[in-house]
A and B are shown apart, each in its own frame.
Chain A
Amino acid sequence: MLRKHFSRDDSLGYLSDSVMYYGSYSNRSFTLVPGTAEYSLPHAYFLTITILLLATFVFVSVSMGRAYRISFIESSATVQNILTHKIVCSWDYGIANGKAARLKHATILTELRDYLAQRNRTPAPVGRWQRLRTETLNAVAHATVLALIAAVAACLWAVLDRFGPADHFAAWSALYVSLASNGTMAALGYVCQLLGRLERYRHGATQLNINLLRHFLLQLTIVAVLFAHWLTTRPPTGCWETAIGQELYRLLVVDFFISTVLLSAVRGVRYLLHARYGPARGRPGPLAPYLTPPPFCIETHSLGLVYNQTLLWFGVLFAPPLVLLVALKLLLVFYVNKCELMYLCQPPARLWRSSQTQTLFLVLVFVSLFGVLLTHGYLIMQVPVSEGCGPFRGTQYMYQLFMQGILKLREEHLFWRAFVYITKPAIIGGVLLTMGVATYYLRAKSRAQIAKVKLLKELLCLEAKDKEFLLANLSKVARGKDCTGEQLDRIELVGGGRLNGPADRYYTDPCATWRSSGLKLSSTPLPHPIHLFR
Chain B
Amino acid sequence: MGQANSQFSEDELQDYEDLTYFTKKEILYAHKKFKNLAPEKVGHNKNAKLSMSKVLEYPELKANPFGDRICKVFSSSNDGDITFEDFLDMMSVFSDAAPKAVKAEHAFRIYDFDGDDMIGRNDLKQVIQRLVDYNSDLGHNDIDQLINNILEEADLDDDGALSFAEFEHIIDKSSDFINSFRIRL
**A93-B64, A112-B146 are known contacts. Are A105 and B180 too (CB-CB below 8 A)?**
no
- Chain A residues within 8 Å of B4, by CB: none
A102–B65 CA distance with the chains assembled, in angstroms: 10
Q: What mask results when residues 59 to 100 of chain B are scored 1 for a CB within 8 Å of chain A, else 0?
A: 110111110000000000000000000000000001000000
A11 proximal to B (CB < 8 A): no
CB distance from B3 to the nearest CB of A (A): 26
Q: Are A461 and B156 in contact (CB under 8 A)?
A: yes
B180 near A79: Cβ-Cβ < 8 Å: no
The answer for the CA separation of A176 and B64 in the assembled complex, in Å, is: 50
Encode B122-141 as 1/0 by CB contact (under 8 A) with A: 00100110011101011000
A-side interface size class? 35 or more
Cβ B176 vs Cβ A93 within 8 A: no
A91 touches B64 (CB 8 A): yes
**Are B180's CB and A85's CB within 8 A?**
no
Contacts of A112 in B (CB 8 A): 128, 131-132, 138, 142, 146
**Does B121 sit at the interface, judged by CB under 8 A?**
no
Most chain A CB within a 10 A radius of its CB, from B60, B94, B111, B177 = B60
Contacts of B138 in A (CB 8 A): 109, 112-113
Contact A84 B176 (CB under 8 A): no
Contact A355 B179 (CB under 8 A): yes
List residues of A (435-464) whose CB comes within 8 Å of B's CBs.
457, 460-461, 464
The answer to whether A91 touches B176 (Cβ under 8 A) is no
B108 CB to closest chain A CB (Å) equals 9
The answer to whether the Cβ of A237 comes within 8 Å of any Cβ in the partner chain is no
A325 CB, min distance to chain B CBs, angstroms: 31
Inter-subunit contact A89/B177 (CB<8 Å): yes
Among B65, B146, B170, B184, the residue within 8 A (CB) of A116 is: B146
Contact indicator per residue, chain B 166-185, by CB within 8 Å of chain A (1) or not (0): 01001101111101111110
In the bound assembly, the distance between CA atoms of A512 and B167 in angstroms comes to 34
Beyond A87-B128, A90-B180, A113-B138, whether A82 also contacts B153 by CB under 8 A is yes
Contact with B along A74-110 (1 / 0, CB 8 A): 1110011011110111111111111011100100110
Contacting residues, chain A, for B174 (C-beta < 8 A): 75, 79-80, 85, 88-89
CA of A75 to CA of B137, assembled, Å = 32
Question: Would you give the shortest CB distance from A207 to chain B, in whole angstroms?
Answer: 21
Residues of A within 8 A of B60 (CB): 93-96
How many residue pairs between the two chains, A and B, have CB atoms under 8 Å in the bound complex? Answer: 120
Q: Return the contact of A87 from the options B64, B150, B156, B157 (Cβ within 8 A).
A: B150
* A396 in the interface (beta carbon within 8 A): no
Whether B131 contacts A101 by the Cβ 8 Å rule is no
> Is A122's beta carbon under 8 Å from chain B?
no
A97 and B176 CA atoms in complex are apart in Å by 21
B107 — nearest CB in chain A belongs to which residue? A88
CB-defined contacts of A82 to chain B, threshold 8 Å: 153-154, 170
A133 to B57, CA, bound (A): 58
- Check A108 against B154 for contact (C-beta < 8 Å): no
**Which residue of A has the minimal Cβ distance to B183?**
A93
Known contacts A70-B175, A75-B173, A88-B177; A96/B146 CB under 8 A? no
Contacts of A94 in B (CB 8 A): 60, 180, 182-184
Q: Is A200 an interface residue (CB 8 A)?
A: no
Complex Cα gap A2–B156 (Å): 67
Query: Is B5 located at the chain interface by the 8 A CB criterion?
Result: no
With A88-B107, A94-B60, A105-B133 known as contacts, the answer to whether A116 contacts B180 (CB < 8 A) is no
A119 adjacent to chain B (CB < 8 Å): yes
Instruction: Tell me, yes or no, whether B149 is within 8 Å of chain A by CB.
Output: yes
In the complex, the answer to whether B131 meets A90 with C-beta atoms within 8 Å is yes
Given A100-B63, A464-B157, residue A87 in contact with residue B127 (CB < 8 A): yes
Contact digits for A458-493, partner B, Cβ 8 Å, 1 yes 0 no: 001100100000000000000000000000000000
User: A186-216: contact bitstring with B at CB < 8 Å (1 yes, 0 no)?
Assistant: 0000000000000000000000000000000
B23 contacts chain A at the CB level, 8 A cutoff = no
- In whole angstroms, what is the CA distance A89 to B60 when docked? 16
Complex partner residue of B173 from A79, A109, A113, A355, CB under 8 angstroms = A79
Contacts A88-B171, A91-B65, A109-B137: A353 and B184 contacting too (C-beta < 8 A)?
no
Asked if B145 lies at the interface with its beta carbon under 8 angstroms from chain A, I say yes
Contact A116 B142, beta carbon cutoff 8 Å? yes
CB of A68, distance to nearest CB on chain B (Å): 11
The answer on a CB contact under 8 Å between B171 and A83 is no
Within 8 A of B (CB), among A333-347: none
Cross-chain contact B153 with A109 (CB below 8 angstroms): no
Q: Which residues of A contact B131 (CB under 8 A)?
A: 87, 90-91, 105, 108, 112
Contact in complex: A95, B176 (CB < 8 Å): no
Residues of A within 8 A of B132 (CB): 105, 108-109, 112
State the CA gap A271–B150 with chains docked (Å): 38
A36 contacts the other chain (CB 8 A) = no
Residues of B at the A interface (CB closer than 8 Å) are 59-60, 62-66, 94, 107, 111, 124, 127-128, 131-133, 135, 137-138, 142, 145-146, 149-150, 153-154, 156-158, 162, 167, 170-171, 173-177, 179-184
Q: List 25 A-B contacts (CB under 8 A).
A: A74-B175, A75-B174, A76-B173, A82-B153, A83-B146, A83-B150, A85-B176, A88-B167, A91-B64, A91-B66, A91-B131, A91-B180, A93-B64, A94-B180, A94-B184, A95-B63, A98-B63, A102-B133, A105-B132, A109-B133, A109-B137, A112-B131, A113-B142, A119-B145, A461-B156
Enumerate the 6 nearest inter-chain pairs by beta-carbon distance, A residue then B residue, closest first. Answer: A101-B63, A96-B59, A105-B133, A79-B173, A84-B154, A109-B132
A interface list, Cβ under 8 A from B = 70-71, 74-76, 79-80, 82-85, 87-98, 100-102, 105, 108-109, 112-113, 115-116, 119, 353-355, 457, 460-461, 464
